[in-house]
Each structure stands twice: as C-alpha cells, then as structure tokens.
A and B are shown apart, each in its own frame.
Chain A
Amino acid sequence: MGLNGAAPSPGSAAQEVVIATRLDHIIGLIRRYTVNWSRKNSLWPMPYATACCGIELMATGASRYDIARFGAEAMRFTPRQCDLMLVAGRVTIKMMPVLQRVYIQMTEPKWVLSMGACACTGGVFDNYAVVQGIDQFMPVDVYVPGCPPRPETLLEGFMAIQRIIDADGVKPGAERGGGKGLRMEISPPAGGGARE
C-alpha cells in the first residue's frame, strides 16, 4: 500500500500497478480519515468494572470529567455492542475465566484498556487470589497506571487507544481470528490448586 516513488513506465501492466497502488493509498486515506476517525470518536466502552477503579470509571463518565466528549458515554454492558473493554479493578482467579469469556464474546474490532495497577500487574494484592496482571492471559493494548488512576489519567489512556486506532486501524480479515475463538473453552485453573 502507499505510493511507490518510481515513475510509471509506459505499458499497461506497470500502469495498472500504479493505479492499484494509488487506489490503495486513496483507500488508506479514506480509511484513516473516515473509518478510523469515526471509530476512534465513537468508542463504546465495555466497562468491566470489578472494584475501586470502577468508581473512578463512573466518575470519568460523570459530569466533571465527561467521557462523553470522546463519544464514549454509551457504556453498553453487552460485549456484542462494544469496542473497547475497560478492565477496571482487580481480577481474581474466580473472575478471570469470566473476563476471558466476555473478551471472546466482543465483536471485532476490539481493544482492551487495562485500568489501574491491579488489572495491569496485580497492584497491592500480591497474594493467592489475584491474577498478577491480566495481560498474562489476554491481550491488552493500553495500560493505565494508578491506584486508582485519576479520571484525567484514564482519559489519557483513552486517547492513547484513539492514537492506536488512528495509526493502526483494523487488521484485515485474514489476520483476524475469523470468530474461531467463539467456541474456545475457557475453564478455571486446571486442578485448582490440587498440587497441595
């Protein structure tokens, strides 16, 4: 994709190549300035709020910090209608399979923002029950640090997702999962501590 620098040599094949690459370039521009632009400005979050960060997430959605200016006030709680999963709060062992399942149920395109120290790394809870970072078991695009992150920090993380969408856009269909994952089995930890 993109314009190649060489001047087109006479001959229909080469000219076709130039037209094709120019078309790609134009499609790329269209994608960037319409499709990606509209995607990033109407990201509907899936608020996967488990703990304290959930309250700061609500505060970000409230009037002072107003996530609606980013087009994201439509916090649809169903994964089918959301683009951005905001994992806000600690994820415990009991909750991790649920999180993975909800992630799989989200339709493409989807991004994940891990909000707060607990979702990023386990936070203050370095113990038997808390998963030390959701990125060990599912993909994360942006990490927002803080305990809990201030709403401004969360909005900064949100804007980082917007930059990612702007720059990377969406993977072509061949690279995406094609929905194979929907039938994936996710289960709680094997053996469940039977090592004891």
Chain B
Amino acid sequence: MSMSPSTADSVPFTPASYAPAEPGGDLWTLNLGPQHPACHTTLRHVVELDGERIVSCVVHIGYLHSGFEKQGEHLNYDQYVTIVDRMNYVSPIANNVAWHHTCEKLFDIEITPRCKVIRTIVAELARIQDHLLCVGAAALDLGALTAFLYGFNEREAIHDILEDLCGSRFHTSYTRIGGAVCDISDRWPQMIRDFCRQVPSAINDLERLLNKNRIFVERTRGIGFVSKEDAISWSLTGPVARASGVRRDLRKDEPYLCFADNWDGKGSSPVDFKVPVADMGDCYGRYLVRLEELKQSLTIIELLVENIPPGPINVGPADKMTLPDKSEVYSSIEGVIHHFEKVMTNRGFAPPAGEVYGAHETPNGELGFYLVSDGSNTPYRARCRPPCFMNYQCFPDLIVGHQISDVIAILGSMNIIAAELDR
C-alpha cells in the first residue's frame, strides 16, 4: 500500500524516486518486506504494479549485513569458521568445509584421506539439508505446509548425525586447518546408513505430494524463466543455473576432496555421481533439479560411508598446523610448546603472504573465499563470494510481467539465504 504521510516512514520510501514506467500512468507501488513471511527473512521488494502484473521492481537488501568480512580481519583462520557457519545457515557445515578448503590452499596442506571422506560426507549431508529446506519452504510459501514438515523431519535426523559428530546440531564449526575438531564415533557410520535407508521414503512422499500436484505445477511451470545465456551473464551458479541448462558443477569441473582424481594418494578414482541439468529454466525445473541432486547426494554418501579409510583425521604434528592431541600436551614438553604456539594470540598460524581463491559447490552454488594474507595469523581480507548474492541480482528482471503470487514462487525457487546474501 502506498504509505500515508502521517505514519512517517521509518524505512525511507518515496514512490516518486522509483520512476514509473509511464509517468502519470495508473500504477501502484507495493512494498513487500523486509518483514514478510515469504521474504525468507529480510528481503525487501518495492514493486510497481499494473493491477496484478508487475511493471518494475527494485530490490533492497542489506537488512542482515553483519560485517562478516570486516570481522574476518580480526579473527584467525580457525576462529573464523564459527562466523562462516552463520553464512548459509541452512547448511552450515558446507560453509565450514569450503572455508577450510581455501585456508588449506593458502597453507598448502594436504589433508588426510579420512578427513577428505568425512568432509565430503558432511558436505553432501549439508546439501540434503539445504535442498529439503528449500523445497519445503518453497512449497510452504505456495501453501503446501505438509511438504515443509516432511522436510524438517528428515533435517532433524541430519541434526542428530551432526550432533553425534561434533556436539552441535546446528552451527557445527567442525573443520579446522589440517583436519577437524574431532574424529567420528563408532556409531556414526551406522547412523548414516540408517539415515540413507529412511530418507528415500521421505523424498518419495515429497515427490508424490508435489510433482504432479496441479496447484504446484500451475504455480511453478513457466514461471521465472531464465535462459541459459542470461544465467551465465548474471553469474548464476548452482541448481538455479543448472535448471537453465548451464552444465557446470564445481565437483566435476574443478574437483576437490573426494571428487578429485587420486584423492587418497593411492589411485582412487573420484566418487561417481551424476549432475542433474534441466532445460526448462523455470521454477519447476529448479525444483526438479534440487530433488534429483538430493538423490545423487544420497548415492555419494552411501558409497563413501562404506569406504571410510582408517588413519588419523588431522595432519601430522610435524606441520604444526593443528592442535596436538591432549595426551601429548599433558605428557611431553614438545606437546605443551606446540599447544601454546597454536593458541597464543601473538603466535599461531604463519601463512605465506599472498592471495588465494578457493571455491566449493555448495547447495546454492559456487561458494568461494578470496583470502588475502599478509603473513599474520589473521586474514588481511576474507572475502566471501556468496552464491545467493549473485543469483539474486537477476530477480528484478525475472519478475517483470509476472503477478504478485509469482513473486513468491520465484523467490522460493531461488533459495535466497539472507545471511549469505548480506554477510
């Protein structure tokens, strides 16, 4: 609704500044957000309407800008993983894995095969987490509450697995330079196998609820079309791009962890999986791509959980990158020295000075970190390349010509996580 002048505007809004397409035309300005149920937390759209059709849209973001990158300049490489957790908060452990992958690139450390397998498994679990919530929330916004609850039920199983892994169900902060905070327990592989056995029926339920559901299909088919060229030009990555026909997945194109050749140093081949690509380019295509990615992630996890290599999870103490085992700290002077070298604020990490970029294929797309190091134990610049930010840019162009209800459908299909968007 256009605001009356008496309720003075706390969030500055002057319709005149959003120049109408036809001056003097019969257009109506509507403010969606930043507090709105379908605006996935803090997104704000000021849309100009001709009846129900959208003529133009201005998107305002930054309502969750929390100074992540500035904070990164004051925390060291292991402390910052706690902040990185809070970026894509729907699949936090994927951010941990991506951050430390980049840090290990900077330090030129090769992690142990056991750590690679565990990191790959949790990254794929994060993908399942994210897609379950995305599909659930997209369905919820369109009115299908059941799909949301089914998705959350399976997410609880993943929370249990992550809680067994590192003690925290949500913000895990699991990885460290050179390894992880702790090794897996004996029952963890069995929990994963039970999970892999139970999830397909939930995915099946979701499919039966939504795939041929007339309302869902009518509200998502043909809505929010992005062509392949536009997808590339707008820097879209992830399922949003793949649903438009862009055949790009960093797990295949720039492989890392267990997706790389010879990842264990003994000639193992990369994990075999398929990358779903659609050519529909609309919301329905994105939904289908995500569902298929869910199934592929399950395949990856099932393959890897049977082949967790024995051995240490952290790189050896000779590298002086990881915290030593407590038994060493309490029983030897070298252990104590090593511990303090890592923990004291004026010591700690000593990376080479320079810059490095590392990217992972997280559930939303290419999550990259651009690290600038000046040789001290905190990054000089910790830039995060957020997939949501790049994906969301095309939104104003995407919704022109659609109706208001389509805005909700398109927003749901793009999976915008405000914390990653605004950092």
Contacts and interface: CB of A to CB of B under 8 A. Distances in A.
Interface of A: 48-52, 54-56, 58-59, 62-64, 77, 89-90, 92, 94-95, 97-102, 124-125, 127-130, 147-148, 150, 182-183, 185-188
Contacts of B36: 77
B328 interface: no
Contacts of A127: 66-67, 70-71
Nearest to B74: A127
Contact of A52 (B6, B7, B63, B171): B171
A185 B70 contact: no
A63 to B, nearest CB: 5
24 contacts: A48-B35, A51-B41, A51-B64, A52-B89, A59-B156, A62-B153, A77-B36, A89-B64, A92-B62, A95-B34, A95-B42, A95-B64, A97-B11, A98-B10, A100-B10, A124-B82, A124-B86, A125-B67, A130-B66, A147-B171, A150-B169, A182-B7, A187-B8, A188-B11
Contact of B34 (A59, A63, A98, A187): A98
Contact of B419 (A52, A97, A147, A185): A52
The prevalent SS among residues of A at the interface is loop
A182 B7 CA distance: 8
Given A125-B71, A128-B67, A50 B42 contact: yes
Closest 7 CB pairs of A and B: A62-B152, A127-B67, A52-B89, A77-B37, A97-B10, A186-B10, A129-B67
A131 to B, nearest CB: 10
A140 B135 CA distance: 34
Interface string B1-28: 0000011101110000000000000000
The prevalent SS among residues of B at the interface is loop
A183 B170 contact: no
A183 to B, nearest CB: 7
Contacts of A188: 10-12
A98 B63 contact: yes
A101 B171 CA distance: 30
A63 B136 CA distance: 13
Contact of B62 (A90, A94, A130): A94
Contacts, number: 106
A81 to B, nearest CB: 12
Contacts of A52: 86, 89, 92, 170-171, 419
B149 interface: yes
Nearest to A65: B156
B140 to A, nearest CB: 9
B35 A148 contact: no
Contacts of A58: 152
Chain B interface residue bracket vs A: 35 or more
B83 interface: yes
A127 B86 CA distance: 15
A125 B171 CA distance: 15
Nearest to B82: A124
A128 B35 CA distance: 22
Contacts of A129: 65-67
Given A54-B41, A63-B152, A94-B63, 20 more contacts: A50-B41, A51-B89, A51-B419, A56-B170, A77-B36, A92-B62, A92-B63, A92-B65, A92-B66, A95-B64, A97-B10, A98-B35, A102-B35, A124-B86, A125-B67, A127-B66, A130-B67, A148-B171, A182-B7, A185-B8
A54 to B, nearest CB: 6
A96 to B, nearest CB: 9
Nearest to B419: A51
B133 interface: yes
A125 B86 CA distance: 11
A90 B171 CA distance: 15
Q: Give the most central of B10, B64, B133, B149: most A CB within 10 Å.
A: B10
Q: Give the most central of B7, B8, B64, B159: most A CB within 10 Å.
A: B64
A185 B9 CA distance: 7
Interface string B50-80: 0000000000001111110011000000000
Contacts of A49: 41
A114 B63 CA distance: 18
A188 to B, nearest CB: 7
A75 to B, nearest CB: 8
A92 B159 CA distance: 28
Contacts of B89: 51-52, 55
